[in-house]
Structure 1
Amino acid sequence: MEKSQEISENGAAGQQLKKVLKPVHLWAIAVGLVISGEYFGWNLGWGAAGTIGFLIATLLVTVMYVTFIFSYTELTTSIPHAGGAFAYAYRAMGPFAGLIAGYATLIDFLFATPAIAFSLGAYLHFLHPQIGVLPSALFFNVVFIILNISGVKESANFSVFITILAVFELLVYIGIIGPSFKIDNFTANPMPFGWSGVFAGLPFAVWFYLAIEGVAMVAEEVKDPKKNIPRGYISALITLVLLALSVMILTGGITDWRKLTSIDYPLPEAIGIVLGKASGLTKVFASIGLFGLIASFHGTILASSRQVFAMARAGYLPKGLSTVNKKFKTPHWAILAGGVISFIALFTGTTGQIIILSVLGAVVMYVMAMISLFVLRKKEPLMQRPFPAIFYPVFPAVALVIAVVCMVAIVYYNFTISLIFFAGLILAAAIFVMLGKHKVKITNDALLDETAGGISELI
């Protein structure tokens, strides 16, 4: 007889999250999650595509994110669950779809964290060459694990503070290098690899915006999520598009852009070119630049821990990872588990490799999310949709097509890393079947109750 089991939230007093987040927190979390993409990583795309080639890739990816976010918000507000795409795919297509989406989301956020940690270490090394990159990266991991365990409201308030500083610094950066922009520099050798370079540059263009979807991971902790989540997403998206295009275009016009294609600290280097590396302002800017990286680093730890928490609560990961700390009301074991993964990645990979792995997880998740949206429209036409996808079905279809193009391009140009990603998925699926999790039915959960504002209302 087929095994049947219910995973219920009722009575799970140790699995309750506080609802404390407001729109300003969501803006800060969304921008904070992403803003490190403006500080490093994207410049690797110049090495793959050239300036104009990468600009084309960035514009394509920007269209994907605009259409994706205005579609994804339908899912986030209809099913405000910490599992994000995992919850949506499970509800739309069942356990295996939930597994694929959940695995992809875990890879997305868990590996974004060490990539940012590498850049933090590189920034400190730029300022103080005697400080090693790896020790700094490990240090930041420990500090922000402790901060995230201390409480979501406290960490969210920190996100607001640090994100405002990061945005301000990028505006200062734009103001400093803007007068030195020369179109001849930006258009010199603009597409050295032709159109193939545009596709090779796609993962680094995704890095500009990767993780904005992480707001979904804190949906259960939002006051009035059906109204406040769209406000947070839309304001964050506008902020990020303007910053990404400004930083990328202006930086490419101040010097020979090839000097900036392989370093983890392109903005301090660019400031050094404009003002002189001996200038005190260059050192000050690099010091302040840590704020943007810290904002994203903090945010990805927050988002990845909620994904681990949600999948563990649903039985897809060890149940102990869903335990919520009695004092701080945060999923401390989930946060620590993410820290372990980050430590392993720091010792075994490079910044570029980790970015590509994280981006591949992201685009697979985007594909699963958009498919889930289409399925739920047909499967549950009467489901409450406080913020329906704009221009449905065009927007979600555009997002889906571009995400598939990005996924195929990443696999084609980064086959070994992609092989690792899909081998991990196959292994996870095998364990999933061996443990009989594909026969477990998740009921009485925010996955299946669109009227629930969050888990705290179910308990």
Structure 2
Amino acid sequence: MSSSLKSSLNGWHLWGLAVGLVISGEYFGWSYGWAAAGTLGFLVTSALIALMYTTFIFSFTELTTAIPHAGGPFAYARRAFGEKAAFVAGFATLIEFVFAPPAIAMAIGAYLNVQFPGVDPKTMAIGAYFIFIGLNILGVRIAANFELFVTVVAIIELLVFMGVVSPGFSMSNFVAHGWAGENEFTMGALTGIVAAIPFAIWFFLAIEGVAMAAEEALEPKRTIPKAYIAGILTLVTLALGVMIFAGGAGDWRVLSNINDPLPQAMKMIVGEHSGWLHMLVWIGLFGLVASFHGIILGYSRQIFALARAGYMPKYFGETNERFKTPHRALIVGGIVGIAAILSDDLIQIGGMTLTANLITMAVFGAIVLYIVSMLSLFSLRKKEPNLERPFTAVAYPVFPIIALVLAVLSLVTMIYFNFTLALLFLALMAIAYAYFHFTQQQRDTAVDQRHVSM
């Protein structure tokens, strides 16, 4: 067995990964934000979160290119602050990337159920894990080529969706009951705007996963900045377009608590027997598959990097001799995801669906890693002023400060509105910390191929 990864990804692969990791967020998940804030309230939330992600990416890219490591935020925090901060960043990232795929898998099952009503969505969701874990094991370049293809098709389909519903678009539909179910702005609307933060984050969640492919990138110091910048601009445009066109197709309230808002929005315009609708269901699966497949790649690299550095059992820090992929890390992450899917009928938290709870848990992990990453950026600027930085943060320190402040505000409000899930997140981190605390010797003897500690 080996503990190194193979470099084979070009700029197009990385852009496809940046967009593909996230693009399922344009297909589902975000509409739960309408239930909390209404269309207009959620538009405000989405604009704030788009600002957070844009400033974050224009800052985070400095870290990614200066320290190209499969651990991503874990590696930056370890270099900036040491092992404990690395633990927080690494396991927060792991929670994000392990909890997001089962939510997407459930949406894949829901989309297939639209086409085949007799199909069990859970069975299809579990089957998706088997298929795409297998594809990821076969090799990163094969996986990345597939990711690029399905991402391009998914983008085209979102543009087709906007085009097909545009003749029936009505701004009066979009603004009706637009403030948390009301027609005017009230304190309840403000509460809804804040409560909807996790679902606006879902529009962009996991774009930072490109950092975990840094060791497998060709010329990462040149290709990663281009991929990140082009990726975030692509995603912001698509997110706003999809949300506005879907909201103007009819009564948006019937779309606010389901896993397939786009087919249902299109059905309002073209009817349930239209060929356009069936095309959207089939091709729309490409968007879900792109994110599902890409995030599987991301969680496997995070598990691999943590294990290679001694933060998890060494068993998961090895790659397949033939394909040079972290097969054990791929499989263990899949086991956790399938267990989450099977728990749907057993666990109900806060009156939300399994999908909404999984999204919220993933967002907790993401926000924590964003905060730690921005703090790492400031620390490394001070501690290592001579570190080679092929890409420097845009508008430093303004952009990193904006990203950090919005991330902290998001975390505080998420804890307030999702206290039970916040406790669950904290419990998972505490269990992981117990393992971390008692395995110091494992880290002391670990072989990290790209050592980034102090």
Confirm or deny a common fold (TM above 0.5).
Answer: yes
Q: Give TM-score, length-normalised by structure 2.
A: 0.94
Mapping for residues 32-181 of structure 1, pairs under 5 Å: 32-181=20-169
Q: Secondary structure at the match of 1:360?
A: helix
Structure 1 residue 280 displacement after superposition: 2.6
2:359 to 355, 370, 391: 355
> Does residue 432 in structure 1 map to residue 436 in structure 2?
yes
Structure 1 residue 224 displacement after superposition: 0.6
2:228 to 230, 233, 252: 233
Question: Is residue 88–residue 447 contact of structure 1 (8 Å, CA) maintained in 2?
Answer: no
Unmatched segments (≥5 aa) in structure 1: 1-12, 451-459
Task: Show CA shifts across 1:394-443 (max 9, x none).
Answer: 10110000011111111111111111001111121122112236973878
Aligned length: 438
Mapping for residues 231-380 of structure 1, pairs under 5 Å: 231-349=226-344, 350-380=354-384
Whole-angstrom CA distance in 2 between matches of 1:449 and 1:336: 28
Q: Secondary structure at the match of 2:322?
A: coil
Question: Is residue 96–residue 438 contact of structure 1 (8 Å, CA) maintained in 2?
Answer: no
> Counterpart of 1:434 in structure 2: which amino acid?
F
Partner residue of 1:22? 10
Whole-angstrom CA distance in 2 between matches of 1:419 and 1:27: 35
Q: Secondary structure at the match of 2:28?
A: coil
Question: Is residue 92–residue 376 contact of structure 1 (8 Å, CA) maintained in 2?
Answer: yes
Q: Give TM-score, length-normalised by structure 1.
A: 0.93
Q: Secondary structure at the match of 1:76?
A: helix
Whole-angstrom CA distance in 1 between matches of 2:127 and 2:249: 34
Question: Is residue 312–residue 320 contact of structure 1 (8 Å, CA) maintained in 2?
Answer: yes
Whole-angstrom CA distance in 1 between matches of 2:37 and 2:299: 30
Question: Is residue 108–residue 285 contact of structure 2 (8 Å, CA) maintained in 1?
Answer: yes
Whole-angstrom CA distance in 2 between matches of 1:439 and 1:134: 38
Whole-angstrom CA distance in 1 between matches of 2:211 and 2:451: 13
Whole-angstrom CA distance in 1 between matches of 2:426 and 2:229: 32
Whole-angstrom CA distance in 2 between matches of 1:67 and 1:233: 12
Q: Secondary structure at the match of 1:254?
A: coil
Task: Show CA shifts across 1:307-356 (max 9, x none).
Answer: 00000000001101011101001010010011111111111241010000
> Counterpart of 1:218 in structure 2: which amino acid?
A
Whole-angstrom CA distance in 2 between matches of 1:42 and 1:294: 17
Partner residue of 1:383? 387
Q: 1:444 and 1:262, CA in 2 relative to 1: closer, same or farther beyond 3 A?
A: closer
Partner residue of 1:403? 407
Question: Is residue 316–residue 437 contact of structure 1 (8 Å, CA) maintained in 2?
Answer: no
Whole-angstrom CA distance in 2 between matches of 1:74 and 1:105: 18
Q: Secondary structure at the match of 1:34?
A: coil
Partner residue of 1:448? 452
Q: 1:190 and 1:441, CA in 2 relative to 1: closer, same or farther beyond 3 A?
A: farther
Partner residue of 1:213? 208
Q: Secondary structure at the match of 1:287?
A: helix
Q: Secondary structure at the match of 1:14?
A: coil
Question: Is residue 309–residue 448 contact of structure 2 (8 Å, CA) maintained in 1?
Answer: no
Please tell me the root mean square deviation across aligned C-alpha atoms, in Å. 1.5
Whole-angstrom CA distance in 2 between matches of 1:200 and 1:447: 40
Question: Is residue 42–residue 200 contact of structure 2 (8 Å, CA) maintained in 1?
Answer: yes
1:413 to 394, 405, 417: 417
> Counterpart of 1:303 in structure 2: which amino acid?
G
Task: Show CA shifts across 1:41-72 (max 9, x none).
Answer: 00000001001110000000000000000000
> Counterpart of 1:177 in structure 2: which amino acid?
V
Q: Secondary structure at the match of 2:424?
A: helix
Runs of 4+ that moved beyond 6 A: 441-444
Unmatched segments (≥5 aa) in structure 2: 181-187, 345-353
Tell which deviates more after alignment, 225-234 or 433-442: 433-442
